[in-house]
Structure 1
Amino acid sequence: MLDLLGGILASEIIARTSDTPRVLRAVELSLAPAFLLVGIGSIMNVMMTRIIWIAGRIERLADNEKGTCDIAHASEIEWLRKRRRFVRVAITFSMAAAVTISVVIAILFVSAYIQPRIGTLVAVLWVVTVALLISGLVFFLRETLLAADGPTHDRRP
């Protein structure tokens, strides 16, 4: 009995997915979000390079600081930690945007084979994706501005 139901379900799925225009439409709809996903990945690559450099610099300074307690090193480490926090938040928002746009791609592809209208859901998820991406870019901008100021900017006279 279970084999019969599985066979009917499989034949139904094959019947729905064998319609070439439906598949082409699903692929067409998912192209713009896929390009956005590629863009998010490129931005995240830059962010990851920054956080790896910052973490390495913190480790080198911490190793050097073991022998001496230099105020300049302590100030730089604090500055680097602040930068690391901003990049971490930027990466988190960007990753959330990537996950959300991936859900949009999946929904767009599945929508070719289901009856319910999901345009509103896709539009809302698209706006959420863009909002998350903007948030990530704002935090990355904050880190970049902090990096441009240098560690001496945080020192108190």
Structure 2
Amino acid sequence: MEDFVEISAVIQMAVAPAFLLTGLGAILSVMANRLSRIVDRHRVLREVKKLSIAKKSVTELALLKCRAKWTHWAIAFTTISALLISLLIAMIFIATEVFVDLDTYLAGLFIAAMAGLIVGLLCFLREVHLSKGVINNYES
């Protein structure tokens, strides 16, 4: 009975990071969708550029490349964060099975995961800010 209570407590500790993984998956889906749209727009503009070189399309191509770079880094950092959270969940279970105190490592993993998420979200925020430049180009 004591083992059941201990396993139950471990599962409860792992539930919060598991929910965090769900949220990270949703964020990654949004980022991947934006990257896909950037790539699609880039392909269209490259075809237009072959037909006639318009200054606006050249400028927009450069902006799209910059946006793609920022989105790439946002996805990379957010994915690293998700990997660290997955490792954290695994280590929670390992720590209870081998009876080793991994609290310091668990805290470090969580801090690293949150730092990765913060950097990823800042990169994504930069890309969103850059996308306003595309809108401004259409208005002029």
**TM-score using structure 1 length:** 0.82
- Match among 82, 92, 97 for residue 66 of structure 2: 82
Checking the alignment, whether the CA contact within 8 Å between 1:76 and 1:151 is kept in structure 2 is: no
1:93-134 residue CA offsets vs partner (Å, 9 max, x unmatched): 000000000000000112221121001100000000000000
Q: State how far apart, in whole Å, the 2-side matches of 1:36 and 1:112 are.
A: 21
Structure with higher Rg: it is: 1
Counterpart amino acid of 2:29?
Answer: N
Structure 2 residue aligned with 1:24: 8
Runs of 5+ in structure 1 lacking a partner?
1-17
Q: CA deviation at 1:149?
A: 2.7
1:59 aligns with 2:43: yes
**Alpha-carbon distance, 1:58 to partner:** 0.2
CA distance in 2, matches of 1:41, 1:113: 28
Listed as ranges, the gaps of 5+ residues in structure 2 are none
Whether the 8 Å contact between 1:58 and 1:80 is mirrored in structure 2 is: yes
Report sequence identity in percent: 31
1:133 corresponds to which letter in structure 2?
L
Whole-Å Cα distance in 2 between the matches of residues 115 and 41 of structure 1? 31
Q: Secondary structure at the match of 2:98?
A: coil
Cα deviation 1:62-117 (Å, max 9, x = unaligned) = 11211111111111110111000000000000000000000000001122211210
What amino acid does structure 1 have at the position aligned with 2:4? T
Output the CA distance in 2 between the equivalents of 1:68 and 1:45: 35
> TM-score, normalization: structure 2?
0.92
CA-atom RMSD, angstroms?
1.5
* Aligned counterparts of 1:140 and 1:80: Cα–Cα separation in 2: 14
Runs (4+) off by over 3 Å? none
Q: What is the match of residue 95 of structure 1?
A: 79
1:37 partner letter: L
Q: How does 1:128-139 map to 2 (within 5 A)?
A: 128-139=112-123
Contact 1:101–1:125 under 8 Å retained in 2: yes
1:48 to 25, 32, 38: 32
Alignment of 1:118-133 (within 5 A): 118-133=102-117
1:117 aligns with 2:101: yes
d(CA) in 2 for partners of 1:110, 1:116: 8
Q: Match of 1:104? A: 88
